[in-house]
Structure 1
Amino acid sequence: MSGSSAAGFAIRIQRSLSTERLFFCILILAAVLRFAFLDLKLFHHDEAIHAWFSYKLLTTGAYVYDPSFHGPLLYYVTAGMFALLGDSDLVGRIVPAFLGTLVVALVYPLYRLGYLDNRQALVAAFFLAISPNLVYFSRFLRNDIFILFLTFVLLLALILYLERGQARYAMIAAAAAGFGLSCKENMPIVLGIFGLYIIYLLWTEKVRLPLYWKRHLALGILVAAGIIVIFYSSFGVHPDRVLTFIPDAIAHWWEMHEQQRLGGPFYFYVLLLLLYELPILVLAIAGTVQFLIAGRKAANNAAHSMHEIIEISLQQIRGVLPAPPSFDKKEEFFRFCIVWMALSMAAYAYIGEKVPWLLIHQLLPAVFVAVYAMTEKKTVIAIVSSIFLVLALWHVAYVPADVNEPIMQVQNSEDIREVMALIDGSNTVAIASDRYWPLPWYYRGDRSANLSYFGKKIDEGSIAAGNYDLVIASDEESYPALPGYEKRTYNLNYWFSWYDNKDRVLQYYFLRDGKMGNMKIDVFVPERASA
């Protein structure tokens, strides 16, 4: 190959590996990881409840805000998807998967705005694309991926508003805030952190508000309030909830915080980061240290002598030199991300309710901190260490079995598939227990006709009189035996128990052999069927 042809080949390779093309490949990877085999696993306990409420909203029009199940946005969006595409596990997870993909896509505007260089943008997008927690909870019908997407939209809108001062960006920010507040009760944490940093920027005069900022603020409040009123009033059906949803939400979640129903140590999320997101955690710590060192060097370099300061000032006055910018926006962005990450981690460490899906709200800023000062060496480390993320991701997201992992809290057991096969082959089923989720979701509409939910244990005489083909009871409040039936025990759901494993954390980290908590059900099958 001649020198000119070799040079031309190298140029073609370089062009084919442009930032945009690489970013597009990462985006395709993110979409595949989120949409592939989307209904591989049964609905989680919470997913089944969310889908059931959405189905009831679609079929009966009934919805009233209950803080136990978070805000209304998810239910209206999911009901809309059910109306368009039918009600199923797959359809219920489409919007979360789509929003999870968009979270990766939104890195590109940050790059185009100059807050990330091409290497930082690609590594950040890659981490977001393959993060086990972000992929898992993008394949999950919960509010958190909605909040994460709206947080990112809010961030971009605020950046654009502070840069360009146009009202449309203020309205987008207001809409993101309004939808977020209509989605889940942790959105005020995001608004509080963002608001505090904007106050800091204004106080230090690093940014200035546009001329008509008061008008934009008033319009923004109207937009956000309008969205909130529409959703919490159930589109006007329950206007009284507009006045009560805030005190109800505060009362409920403060009680959960104090009760620590799903408690854990203050370092609970650090353990999850070590388990699933180790490369991001290590690089985020390194990025924070790098930022602090760079800041100290910059401060030392800025310590000019009085003579130099006077000389530079005189030159600027004479117009010999242009006035320097008030601040380096890239450095300020990373300072913000460090503050965002630290305050988010502190807030969720304090909150008594410790659940794995809240990690993603801490993970987004951590990814940006991780790509600070992304040298060639650091990039290689990030790419090589991503093997850890891929292995963890495959284990938790694509294995259709009862996996003993903290990320899967109260996941419905795959045993339920066998129980549902027994139900499908029965004409009459008695459910003599208050433990029956996810059955109302999987046996909805006409399919529920053969099921009788008693909500508690019933006497054996009632069972005999009902002549049921199948009887389901909790193993904790069951029957020693039922005449004419064979007793089988199945897992209903399962979870990783922190309290059962807290004294053997290091052993679990390497062996993944933790003690698993679960709920079981007893299923009584007619002896003729078992024979």
Structure 2
Amino acid sequence: MKAAVFAARFRERLLSFEGLFLLILLVTIALRFYSLDLKLFHHDEAIHAWFSYRLLTEGVYMYDPMYHGPFLYYVTAGIFSLLGDSDLVGRFFPALLGTLLVPLLYPIYRLGYLDKKQAIVAALFLAVSPNMVYFSRFLRNDIFIAFFTMVLLVALLYYFERQKAQYALIAGAAIGFGMSAKENMPIIVLIFGAYLLYLVWTQKVRLPKRWIRDLALGAFVAVGIMAVLYSSFGAHPEVLMDGWLRAIEHWTSMHQAQRLGGPPYIYILLFLLYEVPILILAVVGFLQFVDISGIVSRWRERRAGNAGSPGEGEETEAEATRMNAAPPVEPAQGFKDRLREILSGGGELRPIDRQKEFARFAIFWMLLSLAVYAYIGEKVPWLILHQLLPMIFVAAYMMTTKKAIVAVAASAFLIVMTFHVAFTPADINEPIVQVQNSEDLREVFAKIDAADRVAVATDSYWPLPWYYRGGSASKLAYYSEKVSEPTIYGGNFDLVITHDGDTYPTLDGYVKETYRLNYWFSYEENKDRVLEYYFLRDGKMGSRNLEVFSKVPAGTTA
């Protein structure tokens, strides 16, 4: 009897809102941290980790817009100093921030902007989304931006709810750290700022009495964080003068060059590949918000009413009453008076439906994000995070029990895709991958480990500097190009590594083998067979290959 009572209470607590939310959080943690070093570092991850390692061991760092803001390097160097430098530790901070996206939903729910079903479904989508999981296990800046975006959102909601300066300081810190992480944080700030102006002007929120002081404090915190990090804690104050200009010039040139280009709709294709349940439910949520069925019904009623309308010169009793009634008299209020009232924190607040207003904001945020990243010329898969985050909120709108069941069932697709892209211990032919280092390199590493002297005669050598750092770096000689054969023979190298585009036909006394260095999904080679690829996942990949020449031991023949 006691066992049955205990089981019943356990099920009741597990199936409660708090129990389900905690269960989703545990799933989130598992998907972010399990076997975090399963795959080799991506090309960019290796560079980011290497710069962080140099910052830790040599104290060397200076902002370069090509490699984004300083925040990643300082926090990664910090975690290296605490836990050691490795692939797993390098991905620890992205995994942590990717996990914290889920608990940040809870304060939004507590304020009433999400109901229980909406919060559970949004948490589930954040937990098992293939892109959210993949890029939470990835040492790049975009998951940092997603985290600081959520912190900023929560801070602003609480600031206008509680009207306390501490929330303005948190918002300022989120902006400062976000701006110090990557150059697309201003897009988020502008979107949030534009909607905030709308809310204030329409008197859906009221500016606190001391909003100017709070704005100044928040701005001071944001600018202070950026000044400290971008100047490398004062070591490079000159960056504060021209760093912002160099960032604009660099990313403008990247947009124009479209080095990693694609059509404006490429992110929609990625949503269809990996996030199709979220995309479909977001479309449904948008249609529910604009009330398409209501619009159609009113249009039909209007047509039916027009068909039976009175003839010319006739008027209905209601029309006569309306025309004879005196119009309501409202006191005229000029633009300056309205602006003065708003800025002083006065005026009468309009009542709002919090969930509907939050949905309106999420739709605004989603549509602008889709438009901005469709326009930007650099089309890389990790930028989908900044479009996916608001889309999840739109997908969770008006979450009825029936719709919630559909969402949970559809999450099976997300889970399958997540395990495919994040936990397949081999090269995968997926657009989510962009210049990923091949698992073939593990065989190359084994040869390097067995050698005493290695010549790297190519400029395509990343991620070798990361994987052979510290004491093991001395065995590698980097030439950055193919060198003459006498140089190779004179160096008495056990191993010679070249790029297959510029290599040696043969080297006397060496055996040649070819290994894939890195790979990527080729949109150009698959654009005419999109549907075929979608179902078969057999697209064509681009790759760069290494040719590895191993010295034949004396007394044997090649």
Q: Give the TM-score of the pair, scaled to structure 2.
A: 0.89
Residues 34, 139 of structure 1: 8 Å contact kept = yes
Residues 170, 217 of structure 1: 8 Å contact kept = yes
Say which SS state the counterpart of residue 503 (structure 1) adopts. helix
**Deviation by residue 1:400-441 (Cα, 9 ceiling, x = unmatched):** 101100001100000100000000000000000000000000
Are 1:493 and 2:537 an aligned pair?
no
Aligned residue number for residue 83 of structure 1: 81
Please report how far the alpha carbon of residue 15 of structure 1 lies from its aligned counterpart in structure 2 after TM superposition. 3.8
> Residues of 2 paired with 1:462 and 1:144: CA distance?
43
Are 1:193 and 2:191 an aligned pair?
yes
Residues 204, 350 of structure 2: 8 Å contact kept = no
Question: Which residue among 202, 224, 227 is the counterpart of 1:226?
Answer: 224
Aligned residue number for residue 289 of structure 1: 287
Aligned residue number for residue 153 of structure 1: 151
Q: 1:106 to 1:530 in 2, by over 3 A?
A: farther
Question: Which residue among 137, 141, 166 is the counterpart of 1:168?
Answer: 166
> Residues of 2 paired with 1:8 and 1:234: CA distance?
57
Residues 521, 541 of structure 2: 8 Å contact kept = yes
Say which SS state the counterpart of residue 477 (structure 1) adopts. coil
Aligned residue number for residue 437 of structure 1: 462
Are 1:481 and 2:481 an aligned pair?
no
Are 1:456 and 2:454 an aligned pair?
no
Aligned residue number for residue 204 of structure 2: 206
- Show the 5 A alignment for 1:47-446: 47-293=45-291, 326-446=351-471
> Residues of 1 paired with 2:54 and 2:48: CA distance?
10
> Residues of 1 paired with 2:423 and 2:366: CA distance?
29
> Residues of 2 paired with 1:24 and 1:224: CA distance?
33
> Residues of 2 paired with 1:89 and 1:501: CA distance?
32
Please report how far the alpha carbon of residue 107 of structure 1 lies from its aligned counterpart in structure 2 after TM superposition. 1.0
Q: 1:86 to 1:6 in 2, by over 3 A?
A: closer
> Residues of 2 paired with 1:255 and 1:345: CA distance?
21
> Residues of 2 paired with 1:295 and 1:7: CA distance?
47
Please report how far the alpha carbon of residue 16 of structure 1 lies from its aligned counterpart in structure 2 after TM superposition. 3.6
**Deviation by residue 1:242-265 (Cα, 9 ceiling, x = unmatched):** 111110000000000000000000
Please report how far the alpha carbon of residue 9 of structure 1 lies from its aligned counterpart in structure 2 after TM superposition. 7.8
**Deviation by residue 1:334-370 (Cα, 9 ceiling, x = unmatched):** 0000000000010000000000001011111101100
Please report how far the alpha carbon of residue 326 of structure 1 lies from its aligned counterpart in structure 2 after TM superposition. 2.0
- What is the aligned residue count? 515
Are 1:504 and 2:496 an aligned pair?
no
Please report how far the alpha carbon of residue 294 of structure 1 lies from its aligned counterpart in structure 2 after TM superposition. 7.6
Please report how far the alpha carbon of residue 387 of structure 1 lies from its aligned counterpart in structure 2 after TM superposition. 1.0
Q: Give the TM-score of the pair, scaled to structure 1.
A: 0.93
Aligned residue number for residue 316 of structure 1: none
**Deviation by residue 1:254-313 (Cα, 9 ceiling, x = unmatched):** 00000000000000100000000000000000000000008967x98xxx9999xx9xx9
**Deviation by residue 1:177-214 (Cα, 9 ceiling, x = unmatched):** 00000000000010010000001111111111000001
Q: 1:267 to 1:208 in 2, by over 3 A?
A: same
Please report how far the alpha carbon of residue 324 of structure 1 lies from its aligned counterpart in structure 2 after TM superposition. 9.3
Say which SS state the counterpart of residue 104 (structure 1) adopts. coil
Q: Which one-letter code corresponds to 1:271 in the other structure?
A: L
Which of 1 and 2 has greater Rg?
A: 2
> Residues of 2 paired with 1:171 and 1:489: CA distance?
55
Residues 491, 520 of structure 1: 8 Å contact kept = yes
Please report how far the alpha carbon of residue 329 of structure 1 lies from its aligned counterpart in structure 2 after TM superposition. 1.6
- Structure 1 segments unaligned to the other structure (5+ residues): 314-322
Please report how far the alpha carbon of residue 219 of structure 1 lies from its aligned counterpart in structure 2 after TM superposition. 1.2
Q: 1:22 to 1:527 in 2, by over 3 A?
A: same
**Deviation by residue 1:492-511 (Cα, 9 ceiling, x = unmatched):** 00000111111111110000
Say which SS state the counterpart of residue 183 (structure 2) adopts. coil
**Deviation by residue 1:418-472 (Cα, 9 ceiling, x = unmatched):** 0000000000000000000000000001110110000111000100111100000
> Residues of 2 paired with 1:527 and 1:86: CA distance?
37
Percent identity of equivalent pairs: 60
Q: Which one-letter code corresponds to 2:486 in the other structure?
A: G
Question: Which residue among 462, 469, 472 is the counterpart of 2:494?
Answer: 469
Say which SS state the counterpart of residue 219 (structure 1) adopts. helix
Please report how far the alpha carbon of residue 13 of structure 1 lies from its aligned counterpart in structure 2 after TM superposition. 3.6
Residues 421, 428 of structure 2: 8 Å contact kept = yes
Please report how far the alpha carbon of residue 165 of structure 1 lies from its aligned counterpart in structure 2 after TM superposition. 1.1
> Residues of 2 paired with 1:237 and 1:291: CA distance?
52
> Residues of 2 paired with 1:234 and 1:296: CA distance?
57
Q: 1:121 to 1:294 in 2, by over 3 A?
A: farther
Q: 1:257 to 1:11 in 2, by over 3 A?
A: same
Please report how far the alpha carbon of residue 108 of structure 1 lies from its aligned counterpart in structure 2 after TM superposition. 1.1
